[in-house]
Amino acid sequence: MQLDDIVAAVRAAHDSHTPLRIRGAGSKDFYGGLLAGDVLDVSGHRGIVAYEPTELYLTAKCGTPLADIEAALAEKNQMLAFEPPRFGGATLGGCIAAGLSGPRRQQAGAARDFVLGVRLVDGTGQVLDFGGQVMKNVAGYDVSRLLAGSLGTLGVLAEVTLKVLPKPVAEATQVFELDEHEAVARLNAWGGRPLPISASFWHDGRLWLRLSGAGAAVEAAQRALGGEVAVDAGKLWESVREQTHPAFASPVLWRLALPSTAPDAGLGTPAAVEWGGALRWYAGEQDAARGAAARLGGHAVLYRAPESLRCREGAFTALSPALLALHRSLKKAFDPKGLLNPGRLYAEF
């Protein structure tokens, strides 16, 4: 599959007013609004276009599996520092379109922070290049980062350039017996100290803390922080990243992004706490989740749920009228007929 095939498909849909549902591996079909439109399968547009380890960037076509990208990076001892979930066969396009980040986000930054450039096929079938392959580039509006998390509603992310980073020299994980309140308090206190904390995960009375950096720094932090050395830490972080850990098993799962110091949300004990206290997961139907998150200065995503519940609640917190108007204008700027992934982000567009 070539770029021209994607362009032709989008143009044809544009001419015939046919809504399109852009699909890579389909590993995140559960995420966001309900799926609608004819499937535009872009998984065949795959392959690494450029990888320059010493320039710290990698460019690949949207259908490239993350596994292929990470294998290429591993050969040069580098990584996708935002640790996106792979959920089996996830592709680069879907990874950036969904904008999800994994455990290392608390130290390294989110998916959007690593986007350097995007080749976009907009809703009219035009090919647009934004950003590039250099770290610093402030020419024009930063449309490439805008596309991270846009769920394909502004165009097909045909090709993406990401900043990549070296793998840390050393890693170690300490585990502590703590309730969630004490865990959040400690994580915030530690966060203000120059410690090489690269991930945190609390579940069921235990807090795992990953340290990454120079060997000596990791050892010094282990001594300073105490706790027990975790066994099988690699497997644990993998299960957090892929959400195969039992903490994420509930068929209804709420994701609350909050200020890291936010007090208890009043939704019972969280199923998991990540990102230094800023990401809290709650299982089961939670009528108060949206209100609680808003009151605490964050927002709640109905991350995983049966269709009926997703229909009723919407996946994402509603936007203020001013922001909704801006979203509509931007949608129109890139997809004037509103054909790409309609309703995947918000029912309104």
Tell me which residues in 182-201 interact with another protein (CB under 8 A): 188-189, 191-196
Q: What angle do CA 184, 190, 193 make, to 5 degrees?
A: 155
What's the gap between Cα 111 and its chain centre?
6
Stretch binding another protein (CB under 8 A), from 89-97, 174-182, 244-252, 319-327: 319-327
* Strand order, beta sheet including 156-163: 48-52, 57-61, 156-163, 115-121, 127-131
Task: Name which of 38 and 77 has its Cβ closer to another protein.
Answer: 77
The DSSP call for residue 77 is T
Round to whole Å and give the CA distance between 16 and 138. 37
Among 35, 51, 260, 284, binds another protein (CB under 8 A): 260
Round to whole Å and give the CA distance between 84 and 99. 8
Task: Name which of 43 and 310 has its Cβ closer to another protein.
Answer: 310
The site map against another protein for 62-91 (x = CB under 8 A) is: --------------xxx-------------
Among 5, 29, 38, 55, binds another protein (CB under 8 A): 55
Residue 329 makes contact with another protein by CB under 8 A = yes
Round to whole Å and give the CA distance between 230 and 224. 16
The three-state (H, E, C) secondary structure of 172-194, written as one string: EEEEEECCHHHHHHHHHHHHCCC
Shortest approach of another protein to residue 313 CB, angstroms?
13
Task: Name which of 126 and 250 has its Cβ closer to another protein.
Answer: 126
As given in the structure block, the two tokens for residue 293 are 């998150």
Stretch binding another protein (CB under 8 A), from 17-25, 64-72, 204-212, 275-283: 275-283
Task: Name which of 254 and 346 has its Cβ closer to another protein.
Answer: 346
Among 250, 299, 338, 347, binds another protein (CB under 8 A): 299
CA dist 294 → 257, 272, 289, 312 (Å): 10, 19, 9, 19
Task: Name which of 91 and 107 has its Cβ closer to another protein.
Answer: 107
Round to whole Å and give the CA distance between 149 and 330. 14
As given in the structure block, the two tokens for residue 230 are 């975790």
DSSP-derived 3-state class of residue 253: strand
Q: What angle do CA 63, 68, 71 make, to 5 degrees?
A: 160
As given in the structure block, the two tokens for residue 12 are 């044809």
Among 102, 298, 342, 343, binds another protein (CB under 8 A): 298
Task: Name which of 21 and 105 has its Cβ closer to another protein.
Answer: 105
The site map against another protein for 199-218 (x = CB under 8 A) is: --------------xxxxx-
Task: Name which of 194 and 306 has its Cβ closer to another protein.
Answer: 194
Residue 272 makes contact with another protein by CB under 8 A = no
Shortest approach of another protein to residue 232 CB, angstroms?
25
Of residues 1-40, those binding another protein (CB under 8 A): none
Residue 258 makes contact with another protein by CB under 8 A = yes
As given in the structure block, the two tokens for residue 187 are 């994580």
Phi, psi of 157 (to 5 degrees): -80, 90
Task: Name which of 13 and 143 has its Cβ closer to another protein.
Answer: 143
Residue 295 makes contact with another protein by CB under 8 A = no
As given in the structure block, the two tokens for residue 205 are 């009375």
Of residues 217-236, those binding another protein (CB under 8 A): 217, 219-221
Shortest approach of another protein to residue 123 CB, angstroms?
11
Of residues 92-151, those binding another protein (CB under 8 A): 99, 105-106, 109-110, 112-113, 122, 126-130, 132-143, 145-146, 148-150
Task: Name which of 248 and 349 has its Cβ closer to another protein.
Answer: 349
Of 261, 264, 281, whose CA–CA distance to 272 is shortest? 281
Count of other CB atoms within 10 angstroms of residue 171: 18
Q: Which amino acid is present at 106?
A: Q
